[in-house]
Structure 1
Amino acid sequence: MDSVKGDFGRGLIVIGPVLVTLFIVYTLYSFIANFTPGILLNAETLEAILPGVGEYAREQLAGFLRVLAFVATLALAMYAIGQTTETTTGEVFEGIVDYLANRVPVIRVVYNASKTATETTIGTGDTLQTPVKIDTWGGLRMTAFKTGRTSPDGRVLLFLPTSPNITTGFVLEVAPEEITELDETVEEALTRVVSAGFGDADRADGDLEDVPLSVVGEMQSDGKPPQQ
């Protein structure tokens, strides 16, 4: 029974994320296909190009083309806005958006959370830099990230994310000599944090294979240790 449960669990670990990803993609696809207007691109528009195709197939194809057009337009808009934010005008515009979003009680929570999540996961520059280890209480060590900034007294500012939600955490001011830089990328360290440590399982198994093990002694059937 335990073997069946174990096989079922391993199968769920493989299939579960795939199903969740497909569901999210399908939901987004359906939303975009129904959200984008079909005035310029619909089944009637494609009838002249594909006269031998049924109306249902043309409607589905029109929806797919609308999704592609929406994604392409959105990508171009994000690229153009990203280029603009590097200028003084873009910085002023971004500051105005931040100011207006933070004036609304409910909107500011969603806005700041989504902005923090985006900057943390795909941000560049000085959002998250070198992953490090820091010693905490009781000899424990935690994974943190350099922010590229320092406090007025010369301490390094670190961001210590929580697991598995990396959009929340703590800002720490740590002396440079108390920081141990890791030989890994930001993506690898974030994967370990987001997965609550399970994302590093393969690496841990490989490390354990190199650790020599020795048997100190075995108990005899009468409960006494063996004679040396």
Structure 2
Amino acid sequence: MAQRAVIQRFLQLKLKTYFFTGLLVVVPIALTFMVVQWIVTGLDSFLAGLLPAAFHPDRLLGFHVPGLGLIAGVLIILLAGALAANYLGNKLFVYSERLLYRIPLVRIIYTLFRQVADSTFGKERKGFRQVVLLEYPRAGIWSVGFLTGVTEGEVQQLLEKRMLNVFVPTTPNPTSGFYLLVPEEDTIPLAMSVDEAFKLVISGGMVTPKGKKGPGRARPARSGQ
């Protein structure tokens, strides 16, 4: 009986080990395929909504080809880039942009997305420049943030200290977060890359990058010390 209990215990431990090992293997792969499928399906549906029913790829080909929306999107981006790169295409783009700026609500939305696109993909793109550590939402509680730039204009003129623009993302969705104006002296630059910081935030701290020697600045002193 004792030997049987030992064997059962051994099998239980083995099955438990195999199960959790399988989860580590299957879950990332499954989630990756689910996200890719969601993107491809969404783009296919978007393309189908733009085309008249008679010109739907499924109807013309007689069968469904997944990924046509993604391919069409890439081709449209390449075509737009090719047109904007030459003289006539650039003139047409400037003229179209002027028309958009004349429409009140459209002007606000377009300007916002244009500035984001210029910052992310433009020749002088800024994006997330560096990962920093700061005390937020209160002293003694630390958060990882992304440096997006140096505060300028009216805001900086009203403040005595040199301020930095910092985006503090939320977990597990880093696309939402908080825009903070933080004194430069209250931030600590980190050596981890932006990609590593994103993994850290999305995983809720379960995926932690290996320690590196940071760019270096002493821990900010708390007020009153």
Instruction: Report the TM-score range of the alignment, normalised by the length of the smaller protein.
Output: 0.5 to 0.7
Shift of 1:143: 0.8
Which segment is superposed worse, 23-32 or 190-199? Answer: 23-32
CA distance in 2, matches of 1:82, 1:197: 43
Alignment of 1:168 with 2:176, yes or no, is yes
Aligned residue number for residue 133 of structure 1: 133
Shift of 1:131: 1.3
Answer yes or no: is the 8 Å Cα contact 1:164–1:193 preserved in 2: yes
Q: How many percent of aligned residue pairs carry the same amino acid?
A: 20
**Alignment-mate amino acid for residue 132 of structure 1:** V
User: Measured at CA, do residues 135 and 62 of structure 1 come closer, stay the same or move farther in structure 2, by a change above 3 Å?
Assistant: closer
Aligned residue number for residue 196 of structure 2: 188
Scaled by the length of structure 2, the TM-score of the pair is: 0.55
Aligned residue number for residue 17 of structure 1: 31
User: Measured at CA, do residues 39 and 26 of structure 1 come closer, stay the same or move farther in structure 2, by a change above 3 Å?
Assistant: same
Q: Deviations along 1:163-184, whole A, 9 cap, x unmatched? A: 2222322222222222111113
CA distance in 2, matches of 1:143, 1:14: 24
Larger radius of gyration: 1
User: Measured at CA, do residues 100 and 128 of structure 1 come closer, stay the same or move farther in structure 2, by a change above 3 Å?
Assistant: same
CA distance in 2, matches of 1:79, 1:180: 42
Answer yes or no: is the 8 Å Cα contact 1:166–1:194 preserved in 2: yes
Aligned residue number for residue 42 of structure 2: 28
Equivalent residues in 2 for 1:48-59, closer than 5 Å: 58-59=61-62
Aligned residue number for residue 49 of structure 1: none
Q: Deviations along 1:77-134, whole A, 9 cap, x unmatched? A: 36757996xx98787667557x51488xxxx7xx99x959x76x95562343211111
1:72 corresponds to which of 75, 83, 91: 75
Consecutive unaligned residues of structure 1, counting only runs of 5 or more, are: 46-57, 208-228
User: Measured at CA, do residues 9 and 60 of structure 1 come closer, stay the same or move farther in structure 2, by a change above 3 Å?
Assistant: same
Runs of 4+ that moved beyond 3 A: 32-45, 58-71, 78-84, 87-97, 121-124
User: Measured at CA, do residues 131 and 89 of structure 1 come closer, stay the same or move farther in structure 2, by a change above 3 Å?
Assistant: farther
Consecutive unaligned residues of structure 2, counting only runs of 5 or more, are: 1-11, 213-225
1:3 corresponds to which of 10, 13, 17: 17
**Alignment-mate amino acid for residue 33 of structure 2:** L
User: Measured at CA, do residues 26 and 148 of structure 1 come closer, stay the same or move farther in structure 2, by a change above 3 Å?
Assistant: closer
Scaled by the length of structure 1, the TM-score of the pair is: 0.55
Count matched residues.
Answer: 182
CA distance in 1, matches of 2:182, 2:202: 23
Secondary structure of the corresponding residue to residue 62 of structure 2: helix
Shift of 1:43: 9.3
Answer yes or no: is the 8 Å Cα contact 1:33–1:63 preserved in 2: no
